[in-house]
Amino acid sequence: GWKVSMKSGSLSHILPCNRLPVQLMSQVRVYTSNGQKKDLGSEDTNGSARGQTLHKVETGQDTTNAGQKQSSPKQPIQVKVKAVLKKREYGPKYTQNNFITGVRAINEFCLKSSDLDQLRKIKRRSPHDDTETFTVYLRSDVEAKSLEVWGSPEALARERKRRKEAEIKYRENLFRNQRLLWEYKEFFGNTKPRSSTAAMFFKGPGKVVMVAICINGLNFFFKLLAWVYTGSASMFSEAIHSLADTCNQALLALGISQSARTPDPSHPYGFTNMRYIASLISGVGIFMMGAGLSWYHGIIGLLHPHPVESLLWAYCILAGSLVSEGATLLVAINEIRRSARAKGLSFYQYVVQSRDPSTNVVLLEDAAAVLSVAVAATCMGLTSLTGNPYYDSVGSLGVGTLLGTVSAFLIYTNTEALLGRSIEPEQLQRLTELLESDPVVRAIHDVKATDMGMSKVRFKAEVDFDGRVVTRSYLEKQDIEQLLQEIQQVKTLEELEAFMLKHGENIVDTLGAEVDRLEKDLKQRNPDVRHVDLEIL
């Protein structure tokens, strides 16, 4: 066979050809900076002898090479040691340093407020706009206190279960309690001042809706009498149209009152979209009740025509309806103009974007009512002149088509609003420029701004913060001389770790304060922005 001998320093490998075991011989030395060498370990005496034998077998390697190696100077080896801290294992669930508010401590651990007085209190930056700082407690302290109060985790679990059952029972009896309270108010009289919900119907969209309800109710009554007297299909369509308008506007009033409810844990963003839901149902109601019945009555009139009685009273009622519907239409137009001017939008943009769904419904319903009165009067006039009842039936179909168009527009605009459409590109650009012009921001990504309804915007962006600017902002608030003394006193790894942990946590708090400042600036400069979510990259 053949043999291959390789040398690298003092390491030799003998690789026989017949898949013999590889024999390894090594000797490790460490050289200090002064050139001295120390043997850290070698193989035993037998190993050294075996190595000498193997060296003799090798060809081309004589004592001359060994002499040359011994004559070459030994270069010192420099080893750079990196000091690192020992990695701390926190485990899958680490809550040792978690903070908890007093309300959560009382509710989740079944404690009293007096129990928390004995615990350590920590002041932290408040996440709410109305307060700067608030008090929190260490979760570990709260857990230890709960075990001290209740004795064991089992006793605490039993108390939690008991309170949960009591809460469920209270919810079951809530309706009965509300019923008793209502009966109490009925018996003793309700002296509570008029709520803000009732006051909503005396101004703005609420006022428009209430005026429309009153006028359309009267129109329905008189149109119904005219249809009974004349038997006109067009007059029947007008009566159904007024009835549909009255019901839909009553539904709008319900939506306005429900949208004024305060947010609760189940609906943290409030009930503003109730106006859009009511308007959407109103559009469906117009299509089914108004357009559907008008088409049905018109088709029946075409299939089974019958002569129409005297239309004098019908003309008088249509004229009165035209005046009343026109008055309601003017009220809605003035309200939309005022609101559009306040938002800096044109009349058309305000209507198409459905900024105020309740007023939009009144506007479109009354506009359709005025046009349908004109259509009904024209067709009834043609029937009176020619004596042909088909014109009257065609008028009913025309009124139904007009109502169907209005309902389709209302369904589309309110559906778009409920789906959560984006705000205008110009407004989004202003928000983006405001963030990017701040020194603490390097870049922003994945920007989303959603119109939540009634000109309430939710803004979300992922922000790449400049760590140097954040750190400098923290240093500007510190005593640099004292900070330098702290640095000079650091001698050991433990002292370095304590120094970095202290100031690292403070820098993170400074970053949180910068996020709060940016959110506050966005809300102040853009009043429509109600909710801001800035995610740190």
Residue 389 placed within a domain: yes
- Which 3 state secondary structure label does DSSP give 138? strand
Out of 363, 384, 419, pick the residue that ends a domain.
Answer: 419
Q: Please report the beta strands in 151-206, taking only residues with DSSP state E, as ranges in sequence order.
A: none
Within 476-525, where are the H helices?
Answer: 480-488, 493-525
Residue 138 placed within a domain: yes
| Measured distance CA(122)–CA(128) in Å, rounded | 17
Out of 419, 449, 478, pick the residue that ends a domain.
Answer: 419
The identity of residue 351, as a single letter, is V
Helix axes 312-343, 233-259, angle to 10 degrees: 30
User: Is pLDDT at 133 greater than 90 in this prediction?
Assistant: no
pTM above 0.85, yes or no: no
Pairing of strands 529-536, 457-465: parallel
Q: Are residues 327 and 466 in the same domain?
A: no
| Measured distance CA(456)–CA(269) in Å, rounded | 10
Q: Are residues 277 and 406 in the same domain?
A: yes
Residue 183 has a pLDDT of 61
Q: What is the pLDDT of residues 431-474, one digit of tens each?
A: 999 999 999 999 999 999 988 877 788 999 999 999 999 999 99
Q: Are residues 403 and 431 in the same domain?
A: no
| Measured distance CA(12)–CA(187) in Å, rounded | 108
**Secondary element (H or E) of residue 114:** helix 113-116
Question: In which domain, by residue range, is 344 found?
Answer: 200-419
* Rg of the chain taking only CA atoms, in angstroms: 42
Per 3-state DSSP, what percentage of the chain is helix, strand, and coil (rounded to 5)? Answer: 60, 15, 25
Check: CB of residue 40 under 8 Å from CB of residue 30: yes
**Secondary element (H or E) of residue 532:** strand 529-536
Q: Are residues 408 and 440 in the same domain?
A: no
| Measured distance CA(402)–CA(371) in Å, rounded | 8
Q: Are residues 329 and 231 in the same domain?
A: yes
Q: Are residues 264 and 129 in the same domain?
A: no
Pairing of strands 3-8, 11-16: antiparallel
Cα separations in angstroms, 373 against 143, 183, 355, 378, 379: 73, 46, 28, 8, 10
Interior angle at CA 373, CA 370 and CA 375, nearest 5: 110
User: Is pLDDT at 128 greater than 60 in this prediction?
Assistant: yes
Query: How many domains does the chain divide into?
Result: 3
**Secondary element (H or E) of residue 459:** strand 457-465
Residue 440 placed within a domain: yes
Check: CB of residue 163 under 8 Å from CB of residue 110: yes
Better-predicted residue by pLDDT, 455 or 145? 145
- What CATH code is carried by the domain that includes residue 466? 3.30.70.1350
Q: Are residues 224 and 368 in the same domain?
A: yes
Residue 508 placed within a domain: yes
User: Is pLDDT at 523 greater than 70 in this prediction?
Assistant: yes
Residue 196 has a pLDDT of 53
Q: Which of 330, 98, 75, 100 is nearest to 215 (CA)?
A: 330
Which residue's entry shows tokens 């509570």?
A: 192
Q: What is the pLDDT of residues 30-73, one digit of tens each?
A: 444 444 444 444 444 444 444 444 344 344 444 444 444 455 55
Q: Are residues 254 and 306 in the same domain?
A: yes
Residue 460 has a pLDDT of 93
| Measured distance CA(244)–CA(251) in Å, rounded | 11
Cα separations in angstroms, 293 against 162, 301, 397, 469: 57, 12, 10, 68
Tokens in use for 224? 């119904």
Cα separations in angstroms, 111 against 168, 366, 443: 20, 60, 46
| Measured distance CA(127)–CA(213) in Å, rounded | 44
Cα separations in angstroms, 3 against 11, 20, 45, 90: 16, 11, 24, 55
344: left (phi over 0), alpha (psi -120 to 50) or beta: left
The lowest-confidence range among 132-136, 185-189, 317-321, 452-456 is 185-189
- What CATH code is carried by the domain that includes residue 260? 1.20.1510.10
The pLDDT-based confidence of 364 (bands split at 50, 70, 90) is confident
CB atoms within 10 A of CB 450: 16
Out of 157, 185, 213, pick the residue that ends a domain.
Answer: 185
Residue 124 placed within a domain: yes
